[in-house]
């Protein structure tokens, strides 16, 4: 057997002893009378279980060389209780996309902005009122075509490109919508 399997077998013995007596303990005489190899194996198994977070010391100060109780992780291991890590969803809007948080496994950006989202970005921008009105007019015709799944006419983007290229949130939203439109099968 392996240290892992032997340790899990010991973990079950500790579980049973804890349920029956409150803890698992080996008195000094019993421990000292074990053959050297058995004592060494027992120490390795206990270390393995402690390092894995399955057990912790109980009362070693009373002269017991091994005195253990199970942790919550140890109990879950013996009782074969699966824990599911909660997965949180974080929506990030802006030009700097990335993964934020713990245990992220992918970087999927699905940011298909609607015209109302783009409208809010334009309204919150530093453009003059005249430029805002012009941008909204041009973007409205672009988003109307996207919604109808109609082809984008030549020159539609060039009329707004010089204005939005320096305002990254708006550029990111428009490019995301265009990318989704262009890559979606018609």
CATH number, domain containing residue 57: 1.10.10
Total domains in the chain come to 2
CA atoms within 13 A of residue 174's CA, in its CB half-sphere = 27
d(CA 168, CA 170): 5
Residue 166 located in a structural domain: yes
Do residues 126 and 70 share a domain?
no
Residue 54 located in a structural domain: yes
d(CA 111, CA 97): 10
Residue 15 located in a structural domain: yes
Tell me the pTM: 0.44
C-alpha to C-alpha distances, 41 to 9, 52, 77, nearest whole angstrom: 12, 16, 21
Which of residues 78, 105, 133 is at a domain's end? 78
d(CA 73, CA 51): 12
Residue 151 located in a structural domain: yes
Question: Which residues, in sequence order, are CB contacts of 2 under 8 Å at separation 6+?
Answer: none
Task: Read off the DSSP letter of residue 94.
Answer: S
Residue 35 located in a structural domain: yes
Which of residues 52, 78, 104 is at a domain's end? 78
In percent, how much of the chain has pLDDT > 70? Answer: 80
Residue-wise pLDDT for 112-134, tens only, equals 677 888 888 888 888 888 888 88
Task: Read off the DSSP letter of residue 120.
Answer: H
Structural domain harbouring 10: 3-78
d(CA 9, CA 169): 57
Residue 36 located in a structural domain: yes
Identify whether the C-beta of residue 55 lies closer than 8 Å to the C-beta of residue 69: yes
Which of residues 78, 104, 134 is at a domain's end? 78
Average pLDDT for the chain: 79
So what's the pLDDT on residue 171?
A: 81
d(CA 104, CA 89): 10
pLDDT category at 111 given cuts 50, 70, 90 is low
């Amino acid at each position: 057997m392996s240290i892992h399997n032997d340790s899990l077998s010991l973990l079950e013995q500790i579980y049973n002893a804890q349920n029956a007596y409150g803890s698992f303990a080996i008195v000094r005489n019993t421990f000292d009378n074990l053959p050297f190899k058995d004592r060494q194996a027992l120490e390795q198994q206990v270390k393995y279980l402690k390092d894995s977070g399955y057990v912790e010391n109980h009362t070693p100060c009373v002269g017991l060389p091994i005195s253990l109780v199970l942790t919550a992780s140890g109990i879950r291991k013996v009782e074969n209780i699966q824990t599911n890590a909660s997965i949180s969803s974080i929506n990030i809007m802006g030009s700097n996309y990335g993964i934020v948080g713990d245990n992220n496994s992918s970087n999927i950006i699905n940011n298909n902005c609607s015209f109302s989202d783009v409208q809010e970005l334009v309204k919150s921008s530093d453009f003059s009122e005249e430029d805002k009105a012009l941008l909204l007019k041009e973007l409205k015709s672009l988003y109307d075509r996207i919604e109808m799944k109609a082809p984008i006419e030549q020159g539609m983007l060039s009329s707004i490109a010089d204005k939005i290229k320096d305002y990254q949130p708006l550029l990111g939203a428009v490019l995301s919508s265009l990318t989704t439109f262009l890559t979606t099968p018609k």
